[in-house]
Amino acid sequence: MSDCRRKSAGRDGKNDGVLDFDSCYRAMASRDTRFDGAFVVAVTSTGVYCRPVCGARTPKPANCRFFKVPAAAEAAGFRACRRCRPETAPSSPEWNVRGDLVARALRLIAGGTVDELGVAGLARQLAVSARHLHRQLVAEVGVGPLALALNRRAHVARMLIESSTLPLSDVAFAAGYSSIRQFNGAILAAFGRAPRELRRAHAAHDTAGSGPLLLHLRFRPPLDGEALLAWLRARAVPGVERVDGHRYHRTLRLPRGSGFAELDLAPATARSGPAVGRHRQVPVRLTLEDLRDVTAAVRRCRDLCDLDADPAAVAETLGASPALRARADAAPGLRVPGCADAFELAVRTVLEQHHPPERAARLCGRLVARWGERAVAPDGEPDRLFPTARALADADPGALGLGTRQAAAVHSLARAVADGALALGQDADRETTVAALRALPGLAPWAVARIATHALLDPDVFSAEDPALRRAAQELGLPRDPHALAREAHAWRPWRSYAAMHLLTATPPA
């Protein structure tokens, strides 16, 4: 069954997704890095599946099968390659571009929702039946939500085995397994080695059992680390975030407790020398109250730095625009920063309507000082979590320390989130959330667009009414009129959020 242009049957008799065999084979044979994470190739003669950039000898076409996700390859009886480590590849950017049911489900599963709520709970969050969700996922990627969650669980377990000296029993339960026997069997089936063999082979010495976890998050190069650090530094909320040189520190509110992340973006800021070709990963140190939150913490760090982006596809589209070509060439690998707390970002965006980013961040720091909770803080500062929506909704608007209009806008936003009328984050339906945000008082349409860009992770948002974008557009010779600018931006789809970032980073805020 080598031709993936036909729907190939998986172990359960369902379709494992449709991929163009010839295109996938050419991408694999040429080791095209643009396709790393977009699919995996399973080799029937060896029983392993690999990334398309694997350095092993190119298999014969008759021995190849292509799958959209690693879980589908594992469900078909293949194990992960020991050479290219498919579980470490960035995920396909397709799921960030799309905002439909399947894309939202895949983002939630990657964040560990199935381990927390089960498949039924995942379906409830998506407002569909578990049966319908299973059917949609099988038709799109070849396997259902449980198989995807099991695949993610095995990858988290391997990450903990190799990045810590935790007892293997602790690793098993932290990754979500209910027994040691289940843990041993799953790791052996997925990677062809028992957990103890993986640990001996890796010989992890970077972390202590009770200390932080040292992980390495891979990305598709290039990555403009300097621009990312500058964006985060200008918007760092006192008590919650700090940028120190090339390191970004922040607290995390996680499903089972608090956490602390330190991201080292120094490798991503290298412009020349051997480090450029060698480093395609961001080192992250995580300190967690509950190790079961490692999946959620990693997902938030990846979203924050937009590590699943496809810079080659973005550059190809934006480089075709005469107005943006110079900007795209001057800032390769520019990312659209996400967020670790969608409500925090929405509050800061409300305040940025009236203040520069640094001033808005300081005002958010006042809210943190009064209503923020203490968090895990290995090195002292930052040591607080951003206030919950419920805490600000129950507060007197006059006590927020903001202007009357700003306080009313923040209070109405917090009330909508706390009452469940507004959903923010990776599980939110983008169209529904944008409509709910526009109905809130005190939010301009361009502020809603910024929340959709950075909190909902929509890569195709562009508000021609944004005053900063209009000013930057005029300096680049683009039309300042909102209607004409919107027509010009249509050619930048589906990467209009990246076009907006190029414009915003080219022009300092007024």
Question: Are residues 255 and 395 located together in one domain of the fold?
Answer: no
- The CATH number for 162's domain is 1.10.10.60
C-beta atoms surrounding 482 within 10 Å:
16
Q: Is residue 117 located within the same domain as residue 44?
A: no
Torsion of CA 460, 113, 109, 299, to 10 degrees: 60
Q: Provide, for the chain, the percentages of residues in helix, strand and coil under a 3-state DSSP scheme, each rounded to the nearest 5.
A: 50, 10, 40
**Do 301 and 446 sit in the same domain of this protein?**
no
Q: How confident is the model at residue 211 (pLDDT cuts 50, 70, 90)?
A: low
The structure's pTM equals 0.87
pLDDT at 7 over 70: no
Say what the pLDDT of residue 5 is: 34
Q: Is 241 domain-assigned?
A: yes
Share above pLDDT 90 across residues of the chain, in percent, rounded to a whole number: 69
Q: Which CATH number fits the domain that encloses residue 44?
A: 3.40.10.10
pLDDT at 184 > cutoff 50:
yes
Together in a domain, 500 and 360: yes
Q: Are residues 190 and 219 in the same domain?
A: no
Measuring CA to CA, which residue among 137, 133, 110 is closest to residue 121? 133
As a whole number, mean pLDDT of residues 377-396 equals 91
What CATH number has the domain bearing residue 457? 1.10.340.30
Are 198 and 231 within one domain? Answer: no
| Mean pLDDT to the nearest integer, 184-209 | 78
Q: What positions carry a catalytic annotation?
A: 50, 466
Any idea which of 92-101, 187-196, 343-352 has the lowest mean pLDDT?
Answer: 92-101
> 162 and 132, same structural domain?
yes
Here the tokens at position 245 are 């040189």
126 and 46 in a common domain? no
Q: Does any domain span residue 259?
A: yes
Q: In this structure, is residue 242 part of a structural domain? A: yes
Residue 432 neighbours by CB under 8 Å, 6+ apart = 423
Is 357 within the bounds of a domain? yes
Q: Which two tokens stand for residue 318?
A: 């934006």
Judge if 260 and 128 occupy the same domain: no
What is the Cα–Cα distance from 172 to 204, expressed in whole angstroms? Answer: 17
pLDDT of 280 strictly over 70? yes
pLDDT of residue 206 exceeding 50, the answer is no
pLDDT confidence of residue 319:
92
The verdict on 153 and 74 lying in the same domain is no
| Average pLDDT of the chain, as a whole number | 88
The CATH number assigned to the domain holding 219 equals 3.30.310.20
Mapped onto helix, strand or coil, the DSSP state of residue 260 is: strand
Q: Which helix (H) or strand (E) holds 397?
A: none
User: Has residue 13 got a pLDDT over 90?
Assistant: no
52: pLDDT strictly greater than 90: yes
Q: Answer whether residue 163 shows pLDDT above 90.
A: no
Residue with tokens 């690693």: 70
Q: What is the mean pLDDT of residues 428-442?
A: 94
Does the structure show a pLDDT above 50 at 410? yes
Answer yes or no: is 279 within a domain: yes
Residue 502 has pLDDT above 80, yes or no: yes
Q: Indicate whether 335 belongs to any domain.
A: no
Same structural domain, 361 and 484: yes
pLDDT at 166: 85
Of 287, 310, 333, which residue is a domain's last?
Answer: 310
Residue 318 in contact with residue 499, Cβ under 8 Å? yes
Strands 48-50 and 40-43: antiparallel
Average pLDDT estimate for 46-57: 93
Alpha helices, DSSP H only, in 98-247?
Answer: 101-110, 113-125, 130-141, 145-163, 168-175, 180-191, 195-202, 225-234
- Where does a domain end: 64, 84, 104? 84
Does the pLDDT value for residue 300 go beyond 60?
Answer: yes
Is residue 99 classed exposed, middle or buried when 0-12, 13-18 and 19+ CB atoms within 10 A define those classes? buried
Distance linking the first and last C-alpha atoms of the chain: 59
Domain residue limits at 137: 95-202
Indicate the residue among 84, 107, 130 that finishes a domain.
Answer: 84
Residue 418 falls within a domain, yes or no?
Answer: yes
Side-chain-side CA neighbours of residue 35 (13 Å): 23
| Residue 503 pLDDT | 92
Q: What is the pLDDT of residues 86-135, one digit of tens each?
A: 988 888 888 888 889 999 999 999 888 998 899 999 999 999 999 999 99
pLDDT, mean of residues 175-194: 92
pLDDT (mean) for 303-328? 92
Q: Is residue 3 part of a domain?
A: no
Pairing of strands 64-67, 213-218: unpaired
Judge if 368 and 469 occupy the same domain: yes
How many domains is the chain partitioned into structurally?
Answer: 4
pLDDT of residue 307: 93
Question: Residue 436: is its pLDDT beyond 50?
Answer: yes
Is the per-residue pLDDT at 273 higher than 60? no
